[in-house]
Amino acid sequence: MTQVLQLEAKSPRPEVIEQAAAVIRTGGLVAFPTETVYGLGADALNEAAVARIFEAKGRPPDNPLIAHVANREMLDVVATGISENAERLIERFWPGPLTIVLQRQPVVPFSISAGLPTVAVRMPKHDVALALIRASNTPIAAPSANRSGKPSPTLAAHVLEDLRGRIDLILDAGATEIGVESTVLDMTIDPPVILRPGWVTSEMLNDVIGPLGLSGSDELLMRSPGTRHRHYSPRARLILIEETSPEQLPDIYADPRSHRSIVFIGHSDLYIDDPRFHTIQIGSDPGEYARSIYAALREADRLNPDLIIVEGISDSGEGAAVMDRLRRAASGPSK
Ligand code: TXA
Ligand code: MG
């Protein structure tokens, strides 16, 4: 049985937090909101509890988890070798959507880091998340609370859809604010490298610690095993129209095979009056895309179309995180 408890995002009721913390302390699984997406939490120092996360999600064991902390002491419990630049980033961006990869302390279970000598750590900017970590009195390991490969959950309903019966508790505090996952920055190499783009952009990081290394190499794939797997995907085949290639649109439209069910997710109203398209419209700015895209992909899936077409946005600034997820959703075999 999966219990769902509603609570306020701001100043959540201590009794509800205490109930959830008791589940964490006894090795259970609690889904909770962060400012980015809902996470699936377990005691980060309890190997058996961490193993339950992988099982509930169907997550490949080579994809490591982020340890969530509520204060500096907890950071020092899980990580070491924190450079001056890492200190600067922590000062500037925590709590917030920046995950920092550091040297792992031996107390952290092997499985969280998928065998790597490093650990990814972040301090979320959400009253429920911070209160839960504090009340649990332990760092909380938490991947996004979706079945592996599916779009990340931005509502408690998405968590329930994927994990009902597989986890103990869901804390429902409404929609998450940002909608895409945190930036993951590897600080164990020089210069540091972004392993996953997010709401904290490379420009913002650059302003604090200077130039970053280049992302996208083979070396990067080895360092961030998670990036190898297909991700964020609905069931139907997904075509992404890059901002630079709008001429693709008429081609798809003219294709005779397009006499089938198609969901169009985008900001332009191209197909709004065409009965062959079910249109899910999103405002064109990156913030709106980030907040809405995962819910839109889930809605598209419920309509069970043959094809989903997503209109991309500019890759610059915050758009980079959105486009990274959409490219991953579009790649790989269709199921
Ligand atoms: O916003 C977020 O980051 C959300 C919320 C719940 O905090 N969490 C999240 O976790 O997105 P997850 O597990 O879905 O993504 C974690 C990412 C994966 O790409 C994983 O490969 C990478 O972080 N990662 C974790 N530990 C790592 C490590 N030691 N070295 C390199 N990459 C790591
Ligand atoms: Mg995830």
Q: Is 34 in the pocket of ligand 1 (CB under 6 A)?
A: yes
Write out the DSSP string of 216-227: SSHHHHHH-GGG
Q: Which ligand is nearest the CA of 196, by number?
A: 1
Pocket mutation for ligand 1, best pick of 103, 224, 229, 328 (most atoms within 8 Å of C-beta): 224
> What is the CATH code for 237-329?
3.40.50.11030
Q: Is 101 in the pocket of ligand 1 (CB under 6 A)?
A: yes
Query: pLDDT value at position 235?
Result: 83
Q: Which ligand is nearest the CA of 324, by number?
A: 1
Q: Output the CA 259–ligand 2 centroid distance in Å.
A: 34
Q: Output the CA 255–ligand 2 centroid distance in Å.
A: 34
Domain positions in the chain are 3-221, 237-329
237-329 matches 3-221 in CATH topology: no
- The residues of the chain scoring below 50 in pLDDT are 333-335
Pocket mutation for ligand 1, best pick of 65, 132, 178, 328 (most atoms within 8 Å of C-beta): 65
Record: fold of 3-221: DHBP synthase (3.90.870)
- Gyration radius (Cα) of the chain, Å: 20
The two most distant CA atoms of the chain are separated, in Å, by 62
Query: pLDDT value at position 335?
Result: 39
What is the rounded CA–CA span in Å between residue 152 and residue 130? 20
Q: Is 196 in the pocket of ligand 1 (CB under 6 A)?
A: yes
Beta bridge partners of 264: 279, 309
Q: Is 183 in the pocket of ligand 1 (CB under 6 A)?
A: no
In sequence order, what are the residues at sequence separation of 6 or more whose Cβ sits closer than 8 angstroms to the Cβ of residue 261?
A: 276, 278, 303, 304, 305, 306, 307
Q: Is 154 in the pocket of ligand 1 (CB under 6 A)?
A: no
Query: pLDDT value at position 334?
Result: 42
Query: pLDDT value at position 168?
Result: 98
